Amino acid sequence: MGRRDCAILLLPAKLGLRADEVATLTLDDVDWRASEILVRAKGRQRARMPIPPDVGAAIVAYLRNGRPKSSCRRLFVRTLAPHVGFASGCAITMIAKAALDRVGIEGCAHRGAHIFRHSLATELLRSGATLSEIGQLVRTRTTMSTSMRSDIEPALAGRRAMTDLRSALDKYLSMRKGLGYKYEHQTRRLADFVTFMEKRKARIITTKLAMEWATLPPDRHASWCAAIERRAWVRAPFRQLRSENGGGRPWACCPDGSADVYSDAEIDALLTAALALPPADGLRQRTYHTLFGLIAVTGMRISEAMGLERDDVDLDAGVLTVRLTKFGKSRLVPLYPTTRTALGDYAHRRDALLGSRCGSTLFVAEQGGRLLHQYVHRVFWRLSREIGLRRPGDRTGPRVHDFRHRFAIRTLLDWYREGKDVEQQLPVLSTYLGHACGRDTYWYLSACPELMEEAARRLDWRWEVTPCR
């Protein structure tokens, strides 16, 4: 076990490997002649990395004198029978935590294998390496992601300056990503907000400034609910900052946004309008009809539906496999028979029209490539105007994501009306929707007046109080 754990910990410490990347290494991934190791990285990337001498020596020592006899091709296997590979990176994290505990290291922001990866990036930065060079080593997609690995913060001199905002943002994003959040979109938005504040030479965040940023530019295609959400992004990382005179947080209370809940008639009208999209003999009509219909009946995120691969769809079993979505989670989504039929019909039309030009995804664009988010949203805005959900000049209104809200709210309403114990059922809905924690699902209880009414009726019944009329 000692030789195995030594080799395991050297990989994130010397090469910056993630816990999952270490757990999935196989014997075939090590090229001893070239002194390289193949890493199956995050985001389905693959990278060949040189093996440092000390890492190579540790792996050899483990293979010769520490690895149990096993037919498993994983590089690292369990010491106790059955001698198979680790199920996930969680085992690597536990090995790292145990090692830290043995040597008495406490007070770290990261309590697991990630501390070695974080320390490597920080040490390289202090040694003079650029963020781009560090990013190539630790295989991050953006320079901003790489900067989150370092613990070097801008120096603050004398009076409180705008670097306070950047420092607070860095700390907040590092904390959130350390908890498992991807935060790719939010990272860009929050960096944009800090730039916005710097251009206005504003030293204190006010509600007026936050809402001005949240609704810019004027032609932004977003609803008021989305603007409230963006304002909430700003509130979280910067709420610990005080005003210059030592006062409290410069925030005024603001009501939370609520979701648009589509009626059955509105969804039918939108799907019917999708079947009239040009060209008349193309695949575009069926693509958007099936895509929006699938989101409406399953509550999937738009990114999840667009990212479905052909192999993720098992029509015989009636199950979709949603892989590596928000927070890196995967889940199974069962399908109604009518949904299976609709998906099968779309797949048949797609293959008949495009043949070998089809990409690997379930839903494809007119020429067989992947769908792009901006085009999907533009089609939705067009259809929503055609059926009256938006007026011609409106820049705000219902969103694609509101299909997901509708699914959750309708499910909860059905449970209430059927007399089920909703609180007991909420973890089921939370798992089905792919929520990271239960409070994200609890939000729907206050998002719809009908749900509040049903909850009030339940309380009246429990307290044996006759409602006022």
Which amino acids are annotated catalytic? 301, 326, 401, 404, 435, 444
If one counts the domains in the chain, the total is: 4
Of 207, 193, 181, give the one whose Cα is nearest residue 325: 181
Residue pair 81/74 in contact by the 8 Å Cβ criterion: no
Measure the CA–CA gap between 295 and 335, rounded to whole angstroms.
11
Q: Is the preceding peptide bond at 449 cis, omega within 30 degrees of 0?
A: no
The answer to whether residue 113 is domain-embedded is yes
Write the Ramachandran bin of 299: left for phi over 0, alpha for psi from -120 to 50, otherwise beta: left
Same domain, 9 and 70: yes
Rounded to the nearest 5°, which phi and psi values hold at 169?
-65, -45
Measure the CA–CA gap between 95 and 354, rounded to whole angstroms.
50
The answer to whether residue 336 is domain-embedded is yes
> To 5 degrees, how large is the angle CA 442–CA 447–CA 448?
120
Q: Give 35-57 pLDDT, tens digit per residue.
A: 889 988 776 677 888 888 889 99
Helix or strand (DSSP H, E) at 405: helix 402-417
Radius of gyration (Cα) for the chain, nearest Å?
Answer: 26
Same domain, 352 and 375: yes
Residue pair 251/235 in contact by the 8 Å Cβ criterion: yes
The answer to whether residue 128 is domain-embedded is no
Same domain, 180 and 248: yes
Domain stops at, among 223, 257, 291:
257
Most confident of 49-53, 81-85, 282-286, 444-448: 282-286
Between strands 313-314 and 36-41, the pairing is: unpaired
Six-digit token string for 256: 């939370």
Average pLDDT, rounded, for the chain: 77
pLDDT band at 312 (very low <50, low <70, confident <90, very high): very high
Buried/exposed 195-216: b ≥16 CB within 10 Å, e otherwise: ebbeeeeeeebeeebbbebbbe
Residue type, 300: M
Measure the CA–CA gap between 108 and 160, rounded to whole angstroms.
27
Q: Give 256-302 pLDDT, tens digit per residue.
A: 344 567 889 999 999 999 999 999 999 999 999 999 999 999 999 99
Residue pair 421/436 in contact by the 8 Å Cβ criterion: no
Same domain, 38 and 69: yes
Q: Give 174-189 pLDDT, tens digit per residue.
A: 766 655 566 777 788 7
Same domain, 368 and 440: no
Domain stops at, among 257, 291, 317:
257
SS3 82: coil
Same domain, 297 and 371: yes
Q: In which domain, by residue range, is 241 found?
A: 153-257
Q: Give 87-123 pLDDT, tens digit per residue.
A: 888 888 888 888 888 887 765 545 577 788 878 777 7
Same domain, 113 and 226: no
Same domain, 351 and 328: yes
The answer to whether residue 300 is domain-embedded is yes
The answer to whether residue 363 is domain-embedded is yes
The answer to whether residue 391 is domain-embedded is no
The answer to whether residue 142 is domain-embedded is no
Residue 336 has a pLDDT of 93
Q: Give 125-167 pLDDT, tens digit per residue.
A: 666 666 656 666 666 654 444 444 444 333 223 333 445 777 7
Of 7, 18, 179, give the one whose Cα is nearest residue 89: 18
Same domain, 12 and 116: yes
Q: Give 199-208 pLDDT, tens digit per residue.
A: 888 767 776 7
Residue 133 has a pLDDT of 60
Same domain, 236 and 271: no
The answer to whether residue 394 is domain-embedded is no
- Model's pTM, two decimal places? 0.49
- Read off the CATH number of the domain in which 344 is found: 1.10.443.10
Helix or strand (DSSP H, E) at 322: strand 319-322
Residue 444 has a pLDDT of 64
Domain stops at, among 257, 277, 301:
257
Query: Which segments of 155-237 are extended strands (E)?
Result: none
Decide: residue 399, CB within 10 A, 0-12 exposed, 13-18 middle, 19+ buried.
buried
Instruction: Check the CA dihedral 428-432-437-441 and report its sign.
Output: negative
Same domain, 375 and 424: no
**What string of DSSP letters covers 298-314?**
H---HHHHHT-BGGGEE
Q: Which of the residue ranges 216-220, 250-254, 326-330 would you say has the lowest mean pLDDT? A: 250-254
Q: Give 420-442 pLDDT, tens digit per residue.
A: 888 788 889 988 998 877 667 77
Same domain, 8 and 34: yes
Residue type, 58: A
Higher pLDDT, 173 or 83: 83
Of 237, 236, 232, 234, give the one whose Cα is nearest residue 257: 232
Q: What percent of the chain has pLDDT over 90?
A: 32
